[in-house]
């Protein structure tokens, strides 16, 4: 089969190799999937660059997310799954066979049924971003009637978080962006209020759009950089659910400011969710897709041979939505 792989970490154009590789066979509990599209996430790119520790396997086919059709099943998996359209997640997390290949083998539970009306390219946008968005929104129970702030709303996670928050009945979804183009994208995703965090004072702007009430729940892409404002705008008992803090990787915690408002700080690492959290996420994501409420945004699609360009596009950091590789 044709595949992209790397055996050393480094710059994308140096280490990503396109070639013929042996097709893997599914082991017990696994499925083999004919991949149609592969999703490129920041974590795939950081892992390849060597920014997330050493390689866990000698030769890595990258990318955890994707979509395709099950072509074979291993022992213990219902053969009725053969032919099923699926979206994939966790494929490359501590595993050699990611989705950037014609065939990907992974545990059956990491291949979720893709709704009939959802295209493969849309399915490949889901894994990491949609499950992270779901967990960040629902980590403290339902958000119906709540006021939610999604920081970095035009990111892959942010756009899906806005859509899921609206779908789940949030009272008001506020989001932050850095440019007019990103503002357009979040409005299309359903945001009620948009704040340009580079030009506006976020705390003042939130105060204005919530008429001084503040927010109940924050889906946070940059914990350290935004923490001061987050504490200021959260109501008592509010939640910060964070999945990143790239600008300030070791943020200082003003504990008593958090404590005196009973603020809950929840951290999320999507690859290691509990089984029931993952099952809940897949269930809700598929329902939202079927109801037309979740519409993944695709920034760009690259050919397999151009996988290094797809990595560079994610690395550049100014995308709106998902970057995919067409298999």
Ligand X SMILES: NC(=O)c1ccc[n+]([C@@H]2O[C@H](COP(=O)([O-])OP(=O)(O)OC[C@H]3O[C@@H](n4cnc5c(N)ncnc54)[C@H](OP(=O)(O)O)[C@@H]3O)[C@@H](O)[C@H]2O)c1
Binding-site ranges for ligand X (CB under 6 A): 41-43, 128-129, 132, 151-152, 154-158, 176, 178, 182, 197, 221-222, 225-226, 243-244, 246-247, 268-270, 317, 319
- Given the complex with ligand X, which of 216 and 222 has the nearer CB atom? 222
How far apart are CB 178 and ligand X at their closest, in Å?
3
How far apart are CB 157 and ligand X at their closest, in Å?
4
What contacts 24+ positions apart, CB below 8 Å, involve 202-206? 202/176, 202/226, 202/229, 202/233, 203/229, 203/232, 203/233, 206/149, 206/174, 206/233
- Given the complex with ligand X, which of 129 and 214 has the nearer CB atom? 129
- Given the complex with ligand X, which of 120 and 243 has the nearer CB atom? 243
With CB atoms as reference, the residue minimizing the distance to ligand X is 155
Please state at what angle helix 275-290 crosses helix 156-167, rounded to 10 degrees.
70
How far apart are CB 38 and ligand X at their closest, in Å?
15
How far apart are CB 275 and ligand X at their closest, in Å?
16
Question: Residue 198: what are its φ and ψ, rounded to 5°?
Answer: -85, -30
How far apart are CB 299 and ligand X at their closest, in Å?
8
Tokens matching residue 296 = 């993944």
> Which one-letter DSSP state was computed for residue 133?
H
Please state at what angle helix 156-167 crosses helix 180-189, rounded to 10 degrees.
30
Identify whether the C-beta of residue 307 lies closer than 8 Å to the C-beta of residue 99.
Answer: no
To which residue do tokens 């003042």 refer? 204
How far apart are CB 294 and ligand X at their closest, in Å?
15
How far apart are CB 245 and ligand X at their closest, in Å?
9
Residue 185 makes CB contacts below 8 A (sequence gap 6+) with 153, 154, 159, 177, 297, 320, 321
- Given the complex with ligand X, which of 77 and 162 has the nearer CB atom? 162
Neighbouring C-beta atoms of residue 94, cutoff 10 Å: 8
- Given the complex with ligand X, which of 41 and 147 has the nearer CB atom? 41
- Given the complex with ligand X, which of 17 and 267 has the nearer CB atom? 267
- Given the complex with ligand X, which of 90 and 172 has the nearer CB atom? 90
* Residue ranges with strand state E in the chain: 2-5, 17-20, 30-40, 65-73, 85-88, 103-107, 111-113, 147-150, 172-177, 193-196, 215-220, 234-242, 264-267, 298-303, 322-326
Question: Residue 293: what are its φ and ψ, rounded to 5°?
Answer: -90, -20
């Amino acid at each position: 089969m044709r595949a992209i792989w790397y055996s050393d970490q480094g710059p994308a154009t140096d280490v990503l190799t396109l070639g013929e590789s042996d097709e893997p066979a599914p082991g017990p509990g696994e499925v083999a999937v004919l991949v149609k599209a592969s999703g490129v996430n920041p974590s795939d790119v950081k892992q390849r660059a060597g920014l997330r520790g050493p390689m866990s396997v000698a030769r890595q086919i990258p990318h955890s997310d994707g979509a395709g059709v099950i072509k074979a099943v291993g022992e213990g998996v219902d053969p009725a799954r053969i032919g099923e359209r699926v979206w994939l997640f966790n494929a490359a997390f501590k595993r050699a066979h990611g989705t950037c290949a014609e065939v990907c083998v992974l545990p059956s539970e990491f291949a979720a049924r893709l709704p009939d009306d959802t295209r493969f390219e849309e399915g490949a946008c889901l894994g990491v971003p949609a499950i992270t968005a779901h967990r960040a929104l629902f980590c403290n129970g339902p958000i119906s009637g709540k006021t939610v702030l999604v920081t970095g709303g035009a990111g892959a996670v942010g756009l899906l978080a806005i859509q899921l928050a609206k779908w789940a009945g949030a009272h008001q979804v506020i989001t932050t962006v850095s440019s007019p183009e990103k503002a357009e994208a979040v409005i299309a995703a359903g945001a009620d209020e948009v704040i340009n965090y580079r030009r506006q004072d976020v705390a003042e702007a939130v105060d204005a759009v919530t008429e001084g009430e503040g927010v109940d729940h924050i889906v946070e892409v940059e914990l350290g950089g935004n923490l001061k404002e987050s504490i200021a705008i959260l109501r008592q008992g509010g939640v910060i659910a964070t999945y990143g803090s790239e600008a300030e990787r070791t943020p200082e915690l003003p504990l008593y400011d958090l404590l005196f408002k009973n603020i809950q700080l929840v951290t999320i690492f999507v690859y290691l969710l509990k089984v029931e959290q993952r099952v809940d996420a897949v269930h809700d994501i598929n329902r939202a897709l079927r109801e037309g409420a979740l519409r993944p945004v695709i920034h760009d699609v690259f050919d397999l041979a151009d996988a290094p360009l797809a990595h560079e596009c994610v690395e550049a950091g100014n995308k709106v939505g998902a970057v995919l590789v067409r298999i």
